[in-house]
Structure 1
Amino acid sequence: MGGVLLLVGAAALIVARLLTQPLRQLETASRTLSRGDLTARVQIRSRDELEHLGNTFNTMAEAVENQVQALREESARQKRFVAAFSHELKTPMTAILGYANLLRSGEQAPDKRHRAAGYIYHESQRLEELSRELLLLFGLEQGGVALQDVKLSAVWGDVRRSLPELEPRLRWEGKDAAVRADRPLLTALLRNLILNAAHADESGGTILFWNKETADGVRVGVTDAGTGIPPEELEKLTEPFYRVDKSRSRMSGGNGLGLTICAQIAQAHGARLQIESAAGQGTTVWITLKEVTP
């Protein structure tokens, strides 16, 4: 009888440990998660409610880890944005204050005074453009774009009229089509892409505006034969104030918001900005818009 009781007690202890082991795993993983280790997971293979509870815990832990990672990335992007914006704002303000102080310091020679006034005017224009594009960017992030039926030929005409200095280099390849779009915003997108293409190809080569029908809609894009973009830079292009060639962009007056705005315009149209490029082989950027069928 004593032996039987001992065996029953041992069996009960083993069963109890088997039943409580999953709960101990969950307790340990929960404590690990609460200390900030978001990789904590459990491995429960009991084929019962405890296994289901373990899978639910793992799903929750993975969701928490993904959310925290997304928050960290967003915080890092915001810090980069603030740092870049502060630098972008400081540069023209320093120039304006410096030349304004020069003019206040006393009578200057006419050529020196004219040069100082020119710098002040140029940097003030940069500030105005920066504020205008920031307002557009913030407005796009709020959404609310009204799409209408728009002819690509009309948009092409708007783009050409806005860039008279580049018109000899522009060429359109494709058949006219009607798409669902916001005409001013689509014009702004294509104008920015063409300006980027002109900066990338300073030899004066042709800048191609093109469109073609696909299974998903009408693909509309711009292609240049310029310097191209290294592969490691492609993912960063739509970040605010990011420049591939920082010195050239600043000399030409760019502020690094063009492709950011283009990406937001594409998103407002339910599309995504696509970029293909290789160093020394030019760049192609496009979006796909919904076609209006007759």
Structure 2
Amino acid sequence: MKKKTFFTTQFMFLLFFNGAVLLLSVMLWKEKLEVQKEMALSEHYMILSSVMRDMRAEGGDGYDAAKLMEPYTRYRKDKRRALFLYRGEQLLYSDVDDREIFDMEKTAAAEEGMRRIRTDGLFLYVEGKFPQPWDDYILMYRYDLRQMYENWRKLKNTLFLGGSGCSLLLSLCLLTLLNRLFAPLQQIAATSRSIASGDLQGRLPEKGKDEVAAMAGSFNEMASTIQRQIAALQEAAEEKQRLVDNFAHELRTPLTAIYGYGEYLQKAAVTEEDKVACAGYIMSECRRLSNLSRQLLELAALRGEDIAWEPVPVERLMETVEYTVRAKAEKRGITMTFQAELDVLKGNPELLESLLINLIDNGIKACESGGCVQVKAYRDGEKAVLSVSDNGRGIPPEELGRVREAFYRVDKARSRKEGGAGLGLSLCEQIADIHQAVMELDSIPQKGTTVRIVFPFEAG
């Protein structure tokens, strides 16, 4: 690109510059020639008039041409001018050795009292007839243009030589300018190749406040965005791979148990009591698989669907949730309390219901018999907050950063026993994100856990 720009610009410059020098040279030559023509006409008229006066003074018909032309011969000292006197076709006088053979056909075109000027090679001719009664006499004036042409040629060569020097200097300046202008593009190309090869740290220097600096800033911003997006894609890919690995691991345990009990029922001689026990284990593991598939489907649905928001009455929401989880809480001997200080909360009622159910279910699993789970909805300044607190076993500080990951469980053996898959908090965080809310966790081991869902908008 740089070479193409350089040679194209240089060619155009040389074309226009040399064309301008040539045009200027031709105009100078024509101007000098016109001046010389005016001078030749003036001198021819002066000499013809003087010769005619001498011819009147001599009288008669026999003129001594050499005597008449002698004063004008002495007048011509620079040897550029030459005079020829014709009578008809006869050359009467010439002050040069190389006697010209005058073209009478052309001379005949010069009428009486008229003059004609012409150029032949590097000579300028002025022809003119004498008036009557000397109309058979013709005076021709010749001016040698060779010296003038030589001076013009030297001037032209000087102009072209100067133009060549200027062209060389301007070519160097153009090359320097193009190197400076294309340097950012070369840096962009190098940095782009570096980024394409995997080095996402490459950036362009941002110097000054011109368009190049703005372009460098935009490129760096684009590179940073690409780096962030690639990092996000890598993280998402890793998360998906962990999800697949964990899912495969979660499936293996119940499927192994189901297969084992089924094989036992098929091949062993078992009592009715053993059959009931085996069927109970198989149903328990099937429930685990059912819960797992349901939560995975809910997570998938949250990633791919837009939800409709509407004003959700908080008391009605809590009544629905309490009705759903009451049986499980009573079975475990867990007390639940609900406190609504808000009238309305903006969101999706089904998702908010699922959010509370999952948080309460986690709280019930964390508590021993006689424990308590508290559900509150209140205003914190301009924000609305939903919180679920329990007085269960809590979460160790080193585990708090990972409990939101899919399939992660603090107490793996106990969670499997209770049918948990480690998807509850991951699902709750997805629901909070959809509502533009933030999920906060506070936990003290052996004292309990509080989960707060902080909405960024004012409650109704």
> Which category describes the TM-score, using the shorter chain as reference length?
0.7 to 0.9
Residue deviations 1:82-120, cap 9 Å, x none? 111111112111111111111111431233222211111
Instruction: Identify the match of residue 429 of structure 2 among 263, 280, 284.
Output: 263
The answer to whether residue 453 in structure 2 is matched with residue 282 in structure 1 is: no
Does the 8 Å contact 1:143/1:268 carry over to 2?
no
Aligned match of 1:248: 414
Greater gyration radius: 2
Deviates more, 1:235-244 or 1:255-264: 235-244
Instruction: Identify the match of residue 355 of structure 2 among 189, 196, 201.
Output: 189
Per the alignment, in what secondary structure is the counterpart of residue 180 of structure 1?
strand
Aligned match of 2:403: 237
The answer to whether residue 321 in structure 2 is matched with residue 159 in structure 1 is: yes
- Alpha-carbon RMSD across the aligned residues, in angstroms, is 2.7
Does the 8 Å contact 2:384/2:459 carry over to 1?
no
Per the alignment, in what secondary structure is the counterpart of residue 414 of structure 2?
helix
Aligned match of 2:212: 50
Aligned match of 2:196: 34
Aligned match of 2:260: 98
Whole-Å Cα distance in 2 between the matches of residues 263 and 105 of structure 1? 46
Whole-Å Cα distance in 2 between the matches of residues 53 and 147 of structure 1? 42
The answer to whether residue 244 in structure 2 is matched with residue 77 in structure 1 is: no
The amino acid that maps onto 1:57 is F
Per the alignment, in what secondary structure is the counterpart of residue 401 of structure 2?
helix
Deviation at 1:238, TM superposition (A): 2.5
Deviation at 1:30, TM superposition (A): 2.4
Deviates more, 1:279-288 or 1:248-257: 279-288
TM-score, normalised to structure 1's length? 0.85
Deviation at 1:139, TM superposition (A): 1.9
Identical amino acids, percent of aligned pairs: 37
The amino acid that maps onto 2:370 is G
1:217-228 to 2 correspondence within 5 Å? 217-228=383-394
Does the 8 Å contact 1:206/1:224 carry over to 2?
yes
- The 1:96–1:215 alpha-carbon spacing in structure 2 relative to 1, beyond 3 Å, is same
Residue deviations 1:143-187, cap 9 Å, x none? 233333332222222222222242551112343522223333322
Segments of structure 1 that go 5 or more residues without pairing to the other structure are none
The amino acid that maps onto 1:192 is N
Does the 8 Å contact 1:148/1:180 carry over to 2?
yes
Residue deviations 1:178-209, cap 9 Å, x none? 22233333222112111211222325322111
- The 1:183–1:54 alpha-carbon spacing in structure 2 relative to 1, beyond 3 Å, is closer
Deviates more, 1:113-122 or 1:26-35: 26-35
Does the 8 Å contact 1:99/1:116 carry over to 2?
yes
Per the alignment, in what secondary structure is the counterpart of residue 186 of structure 1?
helix
Does the 8 Å contact 1:198/1:204 carry over to 2?
no
1:132-151 to 2 correspondence within 5 Å? 132-151=294-313
Deviation at 1:285, TM superposition (A): 1.0
Deviation at 1:68, TM superposition (A): 0.8
Residue deviations 1:48-69, cap 9 Å, x none? 2222222222112111111111
- The 1:52–1:150 alpha-carbon spacing in structure 2 relative to 1, beyond 3 Å, is closer
Aligned match of 1:112: 274
Whole-Å Cα distance in 2 between the matches of residues 178 and 242 of structure 1? 33
Does the 8 Å contact 2:341/2:379 carry over to 1?
no
- The 1:88–1:75 alpha-carbon spacing in structure 2 relative to 1, beyond 3 Å, is same
Whole-Å Cα distance in 2 between the matches of residues 182 and 256 of structure 1? 24
Whole-Å Cα distance in 2 between the matches of residues 43 and 31 of structure 1? 16
Whole-Å Cα distance in 1 between the matches of residues 439 and 257 of structure 2? 35
- The 1:63–1:104 alpha-carbon spacing in structure 2 relative to 1, beyond 3 Å, is same
- The 1:292–1:66 alpha-carbon spacing in structure 2 relative to 1, beyond 3 Å, is closer
The amino acid that maps onto 1:242 is Y
Deviation at 1:227, TM superposition (A): 2.9
Segments of structure 2 that go 5 or more residues without pairing to the other structure are 1-165
Aligned match of 2:288: 126
Aligned match of 2:365: 199
1:17-28 to 2 correspondence within 5 Å? 21-28=183-190
Whole-Å Cα distance in 2 between the matches of residues 181 and 54 of structure 1? 43
Deviation at 1:19, TM superposition (A): 5.1
Whole-Å Cα distance in 2 between the matches of residues 19 and 132 of structure 1? 61
How many pairs align?
Answer: 287
Whole-Å Cα distance in 1 between the matches of residues 446 and 254 of structure 2? 32
The amino acid that maps onto 1:160 is E
The amino acid that maps onto 1:85 is F
Does the 8 Å contact 2:342/2:459 carry over to 1?
no
Whole-Å Cα distance in 1 between the matches of residues 184 and 322 of structure 2? 69
Aligned match of 1:211: 377
Does the 8 Å contact 1:150/1:183 carry over to 2?
yes
Aligned match of 1:175: 341
Whole-Å Cα distance in 2 between the matches of residues 136 and 251 of structure 1? 22
Residue deviations 1:121-140, cap 9 Å, x none? 11111112222222222222
Residue deviations 1:219-264, cap 9 Å, x none? 1110122332234433332222111221221121101111122122
Deviation at 1:281, TM superposition (A): 4.3
